[in-house]
Protein backbone atom coordinates (compact mmCIF):
# COMPACT_ATOMS: atom_id res chain seq x y z
CA UNK A 1 0.00 0.00 0.00
CA UNK A 2 2.81 2.39 0.88
CA UNK A 3 4.57 1.49 -2.36
CA UNK A 4 1.43 2.28 -4.36
CA UNK A 5 1.01 5.60 -2.53
CA UNK A 6 4.66 6.51 -3.12
CA UNK A 7 4.42 5.62 -6.82
CA UNK A 8 1.27 7.73 -7.18
CA UNK A 9 2.93 10.67 -5.45
CA UNK A 10 6.00 10.45 -7.71
CA UNK A 11 3.82 10.23 -10.82
CA UNK A 12 1.74 13.26 -9.80
CA UNK A 13 4.89 15.23 -9.00
CA UNK A 14 6.46 14.42 -12.37
CA UNK A 15 3.28 15.33 -14.25
CA UNK A 16 3.09 18.62 -12.36
CA UNK A 17 6.71 19.48 -13.06
CA UNK A 18 6.94 18.42 -16.68
CA UNK A 19 3.36 18.65 -17.93
CA UNK A 20 2.03 16.62 -20.80
CA UNK A 21 4.52 17.59 -23.46
CA UNK A 22 7.84 19.13 -24.20
CA UNK A 23 8.16 22.59 -25.73
CA UNK A 24 8.91 22.67 -29.43
CA UNK A 25 11.65 24.93 -30.72
CA UNK A 26 10.95 26.43 -34.13
CA UNK A 27 13.50 25.54 -36.79
CA UNK A 28 13.66 27.87 -39.78
CA UNK A 29 13.49 26.33 -43.22
CA UNK A 30 15.83 29.04 -44.50
CA UNK A 31 19.52 29.37 -43.83
CA UNK A 32 20.45 32.50 -41.81
CA UNK A 33 21.82 34.41 -44.82
CA UNK A 34 18.69 33.78 -46.91
CA UNK A 35 16.50 34.85 -43.98
CA UNK A 36 18.50 38.05 -43.52
CA UNK A 37 18.30 38.88 -47.24
CA UNK A 38 14.53 38.41 -47.22
CA UNK A 39 14.11 40.61 -44.13
CA UNK A 40 16.50 43.44 -45.10
CA UNK A 41 16.42 46.19 -47.71
CA UNK A 42 18.53 49.26 -48.27
CA UNK A 43 17.00 52.63 -49.20
CA UNK A 44 18.49 55.77 -50.69
CA UNK A 45 17.35 58.02 -47.88
CA UNK A 46 18.29 59.13 -44.40
CA UNK A 47 17.71 57.05 -41.29
CA UNK A 48 15.24 59.70 -40.09
CA UNK A 49 12.98 59.34 -43.15
CA UNK A 50 13.23 55.54 -43.23
CA UNK A 51 12.49 55.25 -39.50
CA UNK A 52 9.38 57.43 -39.83
CA UNK A 53 8.24 55.43 -42.87
CA UNK A 54 8.63 52.09 -41.03
CA UNK A 55 6.63 53.34 -38.04
CA UNK A 56 3.94 54.75 -40.33
CA UNK A 57 3.64 51.53 -42.37
CA UNK A 58 3.41 49.43 -39.22
CA UNK A 59 0.52 51.63 -38.07
CA UNK A 60 -1.13 51.62 -41.51
CA UNK A 61 -1.07 47.80 -41.62
CA UNK A 62 -2.86 47.44 -38.28
CA UNK A 63 0.00 47.25 -35.81
CA UNK A 64 0.08 49.10 -32.51
CA UNK A 65 3.53 50.52 -31.79
CA UNK A 66 4.79 49.20 -28.45
CA UNK A 67 8.27 50.77 -28.48
CA UNK A 68 10.24 52.98 -30.81
CA UNK A 69 13.65 54.48 -30.26
CA UNK A 70 15.24 56.47 -33.06
CA UNK A 71 18.75 56.41 -31.59
CA UNK A 72 18.92 52.61 -31.45
CA UNK A 73 16.75 52.24 -34.57
CA UNK A 74 14.44 49.72 -32.88
CA UNK A 75 10.67 49.59 -33.40
CA UNK A 76 8.42 46.90 -31.91
CA UNK A 77 4.71 46.52 -32.61
CA UNK A 78 1.86 44.10 -32.10
CA UNK A 79 -1.46 43.60 -33.83
CA UNK A 80 -4.75 43.23 -32.03
CA UNK A 81 -5.52 39.65 -31.01
CA UNK A 82 -8.21 37.80 -32.89
CA UNK A 83 -9.73 34.66 -31.47
CA UNK A 84 -11.31 31.54 -32.86
CA UNK A 85 -12.55 28.28 -31.38
CA UNK A 86 -11.22 25.19 -33.11
CA UNK A 87 -12.78 21.75 -33.53
CA UNK A 88 -11.60 20.64 -30.07
CA UNK A 89 -13.14 23.60 -28.23
CA UNK A 90 -9.81 25.35 -27.79
CA UNK A 91 -9.81 29.12 -27.98
CA UNK A 92 -6.90 30.36 -30.03
CA UNK A 93 -5.82 33.97 -29.75
CA UNK A 94 -3.75 34.94 -32.76
CA UNK A 95 -1.69 38.11 -32.92
CA UNK A 96 1.14 39.32 -35.10
CA UNK A 97 4.31 40.77 -33.67
CA UNK A 98 6.59 42.99 -35.70
CA UNK A 99 10.01 44.46 -35.12
CA UNK A 100 12.33 46.60 -37.18
CA UNK A 101 15.93 47.69 -36.95
CA UNK A 102 16.77 50.82 -38.94
CA UNK A 103 20.35 51.99 -39.37
CA UNK A 104 22.52 54.33 -41.44
CA UNK A 105 24.71 52.43 -43.87
CA UNK A 106 26.52 55.19 -45.80
CA UNK A 107 25.94 58.76 -46.88
CA UNK A 108 22.24 59.27 -47.72
CA UNK A 109 21.58 55.52 -47.43
CA UNK A 110 20.01 53.49 -44.67
CA UNK A 111 18.57 50.02 -44.30
CA UNK A 112 15.76 48.33 -42.45
CA UNK A 113 15.52 44.78 -41.24
CA UNK A 114 12.00 43.61 -40.45
CA UNK A 115 10.80 40.58 -38.54
CA UNK A 116 7.20 39.34 -38.33
CA UNK A 117 5.97 36.62 -36.00
CA UNK A 118 2.56 34.98 -35.70
CA UNK A 119 1.88 34.48 -32.01
CA UNK A 120 -0.79 31.97 -31.01
CA UNK A 121 -2.09 31.68 -27.47
CA UNK A 122 -4.34 28.65 -26.98
CA UNK A 123 -6.23 28.00 -23.81
CA UNK A 124 -8.35 24.88 -23.62
CA UNK A 125 -11.77 25.15 -22.02
CA UNK A 126 -10.62 23.42 -18.88
CA UNK A 127 -7.08 24.79 -18.54
CA UNK A 128 -3.93 23.80 -20.35
CA UNK A 129 -2.86 25.18 -23.65
CA UNK A 130 0.12 27.39 -24.26
CA UNK A 131 1.71 29.84 -26.62
CA UNK A 132 3.67 29.45 -29.81
CA UNK A 133 5.53 32.00 -31.90
CA UNK A 134 6.11 31.16 -35.55
CA UNK A 135 8.21 33.50 -37.69
CA UNK A 136 6.71 34.58 -41.00
CA UNK A 137 9.08 33.37 -43.70
CA UNK A 138 7.11 34.25 -46.82
CA UNK A 139 9.16 36.46 -49.17
CA UNK A 140 6.04 38.00 -50.76
CA UNK A 141 4.86 39.21 -47.33
CA UNK A 142 8.13 41.07 -46.72
CA UNK A 143 8.19 42.44 -50.27
CA UNK A 144 4.67 43.83 -49.82
CA UNK A 145 5.67 45.64 -46.62
CA UNK A 146 8.92 46.91 -48.16
CA UNK A 147 6.94 48.28 -51.12
CA UNK A 148 4.73 50.23 -48.71
CA UNK A 149 7.84 51.52 -46.89
CA UNK A 150 9.33 52.53 -50.28
CA UNK A 151 6.13 54.50 -51.01
CA UNK A 152 6.37 56.19 -47.61
CA UNK A 153 10.01 57.11 -48.23
CA UNK A 154 9.08 58.52 -51.65
CA UNK A 155 6.29 60.64 -50.16
CA UNK A 156 8.52 61.98 -47.38
CA UNK A 157 11.36 62.73 -49.82
CA UNK A 158 8.89 64.51 -52.14
CA UNK A 159 7.54 66.58 -49.27
CA UNK A 160 11.06 67.45 -48.18
CA UNK A 161 11.98 68.58 -51.70
CA UNK A 162 8.86 70.73 -52.08
CA UNK A 163 9.09 72.31 -48.62
CA UNK A 164 10.07 76.00 -48.61
CA UNK A 165 13.69 76.66 -47.66
CA UNK A 166 14.27 78.19 -44.25
- Segment among 26-35, 79-88, 95-104 with least mean pLDDT: 79-88
Measured between alpha carbons, how far is 101 from 54 in angstroms, rounded to an integer?
Answer: 9
CB environment 44-78: b (16+ within 10 A), e (fewer)? ebbbebbbbbbbbbbeeeebeeeebeeeebebbbb
Measured between alpha carbons, how far is 76 from 69 in angstroms, rounded to an integer?
Answer: 9
Q: What is the pLDDT of residues 35-78, one digit of tens each?
A: 999 999 999 999 999 999 999 999 999 999 999 999 999 999 99
State the architecture of 40-162 in CATH terms: 2-Layer Sandwich (3.30)
Which parts of the chain are beta strand (E)?
40-43, 63-69, 74-79, 82-85, 91-106, 109-123, 130-135
DSSP-derived 3-state class of residue 158: helix
Q: What is the pLDDT of residues 97-132, one digit of tens each?
A: 999 999 999 999 999 999 999 988 755 444 555 678
pLDDT of residue 159: 87
Contact present, 51 and 73 (Cβ < 8 Å): yes
Amino acid sequence: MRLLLAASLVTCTLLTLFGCGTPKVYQSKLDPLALQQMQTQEFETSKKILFASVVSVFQDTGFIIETSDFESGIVTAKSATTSAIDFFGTTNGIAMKASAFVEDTRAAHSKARLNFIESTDSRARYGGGGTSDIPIEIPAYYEKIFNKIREGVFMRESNKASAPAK
